[in-house]
Structure 1
Amino acid sequence: MVLDIWKQLKKNKVEPVYLLYGTESFLINETKQLLIQSVLSDEEIDFNFSTYDLEETPVEAAIEDAETFPFMGEKRLIILQNPTFLTSEKQKGKVVEHNLSRLEAYLAEPAPYSVVVFSAPYEKLDERKKITKELKRKAAVGEAKRLNEHDLKVWIKERAAGNGVQIEESAIDLMLTLSGTNLFMLASEVDKLSLYAGESRRVDASMVDKLVARSLEQNIFVLIEKVVQRKIEEALRIYYDLLKQNEEPIKILALLAGQFRLIYQVKELSRKGYGQQQIAGVLKTHPYRVKLAAGQARYFSDEELSRIMKMIANADYQMKTGGMKKELLIEMILFNLNRA
């Protein structure tokens, strides 16, 4: 995990070669920034920092740079983007030829004055390839994958601590409920809350409720939560607020359909004995979303969920054929959900 690399960097332990791979781009970008801060001073960046796109440049050119002594500093930092030779994915357009034997020779004896970082934005690497095996053996490897609930909470707490702020557990739970699991959005919210905390240096749930922006998806989740609690007036208030924000009724309906589909699927897979992590893998969604959907699933029988999905499908048909005013269709659904 890239989080392990972060821990080492905070202890000023820097390796000569790194391999970062995975689809969670935020974690890869954060790791790159930490490496820059750990290896180079502000004055050295202009002279000793280079980045190469290996979809356009042969790897041997980057290796030659890594073997060049640093100028006005002790270390060079070279980031190699898109090492396509580590994956089996087909390349589009012109394919660059790489001298991989040159890279293997460098890995056997990396320059002590350079830090070389391979940044591979791929879900999987081709483990059958010799160069992949060699790089994973010689480099410090960090996989950037979606964080589970525990790691998300640890990450939020550590980011707040990095801002000199302590964040309460209840505040973290509410933030995840309101903002979802997108790290770019969560980082922005944590930084904003840290500034707002001021001299108290503490963030509580009331501050999160007051300041954290709700994504449309999370507004839909909260709306359904109000329906579950049979608080129809509050559910309608959320819906009317969404309309005031110029959200399209057909988009709101699509998200309602998606959330109830998730609730139904989680309920069905749970019945078959699947755990939350397994369900997340099957449905290709974040485990935290599965956890929340599982909590909502307890309040609906299979028959109710089936009826709700038919009701939403009928509303979708009427919206697309002009059978009734779009805004009114969703109001009717919410009233009917209240009776479910």
Structure 2
Amino acid sequence: MTYQQMLSLIRQRKFLPIYLLVGEGFQRQQALSALVTAIVDPATKDFNLDVFHADEVDPSTLLETASSFPLMAERRVVVVKECDRLPLKTLKELVDTVTAAGLSTTLILDAQKVDFRKEPLRQIRTKGWVVGITKKNSIFELTDAIGSRQKDMALFILDRMLEAGESATHIIFMITRYLKTIIRVRKGLEDHVPREQIRERTGIHSYFLERFLTQARGFSDARIKRGLKALLQADSNLKRSYQNPRFIMELLVYHLCE
């Protein structure tokens, strides 16, 4: 299952008993946040959301928590980070517990990489409960870091994208599209347009709307003008300059995060 397929299912309120998030760290966090937001009622979050790290949790505590019924809510969510460090025996018991008839627990397993040759990981994959996170989503990481003015993170993501062979020209195109979306969101906020209408006009997925709204409020007219000018200059330099493309892109990110 892809990340987008997962979003489509939870938007329809179709939840799986188990999600195994595998792949790049930042995207896994996005997927985890989307799942928790969709499943857990904020009013009862303290009672129905438990997050464990595999190398720190006692197996009996983990199994007891997973087998508990939700309190004043439809479902309980149990998150196990770095699940590849969990003993396979414990993981199998956990999977068996969560898939027991009548249990209202959603188990979210998180790891950068797992060995699907081993049980119960092979079973999880066979059931279609794996959400594969790939580097194709990195552009969303980059624009998110830029929008939040996280310069060091943005430069790190940019470096990773360039190392993976991503085209500098395509990155500029995608950042430009992001900035145009921010402009449209700002216009909606200034005109006091309802949130749902802003979402419909911009095509932003509902799970990312709040982040766009927050970032749009942080963009002044001056910052947008600087950003558009920097994008135009970077595009021109890539086409007509002998400068190193990596240097051009790093300078662009630096200006966008100012």
TM-score class normalised by the smaller sequence: 0.5 to 0.7
State the TM-score, normalized to the length of structure 1: 0.46
Alignment map for 1:194-213 (pairs within 5 Å): 194-198=184-188, 199=191, 210-211=224-225, 213=227
Hey, what does 1:25 align to over in structure 2? 26
User: Does the Cα contact within 8 Å between 2:91 and 2:120 map onto a contact in 1?
Assistant: yes
What is the CA-CA distance between 1:6 and the residue it aligns to?
0.2
In structure 2, distance between residues paired with 1:31 and 1:146: 13
What is the RMSD computed on CA atoms of the aligned residues?
4.3
What is the CA-CA distance between 1:113 and the residue it aligns to?
1.0
In structure 2, distance between residues paired with 1:24 and 1:218: 31
Distance change in 2, residues 1:79/1:111 (3 Å)? farther
What is the CA-CA distance between 1:179 and the residue it aligns to?
6.2
Hey, what does 1:109 align to over in structure 2? 100
Hey, what does 2:213 align to over in structure 1? none
Bigger relative CO (Cα 8 Å, ≥ 6 apart)? 2
Counterpart of 1:35 in 2: which secondary structure? helix
Alignment map for 1:131-210 (pairs within 5 Å): 131-138=120-127, 140-147=129-136, 176-177=171-172, 189=179, 192-198=182-188, 199=191, 210=224
In structure 1, distance between residues paired with 2:9 and 2:63: 25
Distance change in 2, residues 1:190/1:14 (3 Å)? farther
Distance change in 2, residues 1:35/1:110 (3 Å)? farther
Amino acid at match of 1:22: G
Distance change in 2, residues 1:212/1:42 (3 Å)? farther
Asked whether 1:224 is paired with 2:238, we answer yes
Aligned residues: 193
Alignment map for 1:243-322 (pairs within 5 Å): 255-256=246-247
Amino acid at match of 2:50: S
Hey, what does 1:83 align to over in structure 2? 83
Structure 1: unaligned runs, 5 residues or longer: 87-95, 157-173, 229-251, 260-340
Hey, what does 2:116 align to over in structure 1? 127
Considering only CA atoms, is the larger Rg found in Structure 1 or Structure 2? 1
Amino acid at match of 2:172: T
Distance change in 2, residues 1:9/1:225 (3 Å)? same
Counterpart of 2:73 in 1: which secondary structure? coil
Asked whether 1:47 is paired with 2:47, we answer yes
Structure 2: unaligned runs, 5 residues or longer: 145-168, 203-220, 251-258
Asked whether 1:13 is paired with 2:9, we answer no
In structure 2, distance between residues paired with 1:59 and 1:191: 46
Counterpart of 1:196 in 2: which secondary structure? helix
In structure 1, distance between residues paired with 2:82 and 2:63: 15
State the TM-score, normalized to the length of structure 2: 0.58
Cα deviation digits, residues 17-60 of structure 1 (max 9, x gap):
1111101523x222222222322222111111110111211455
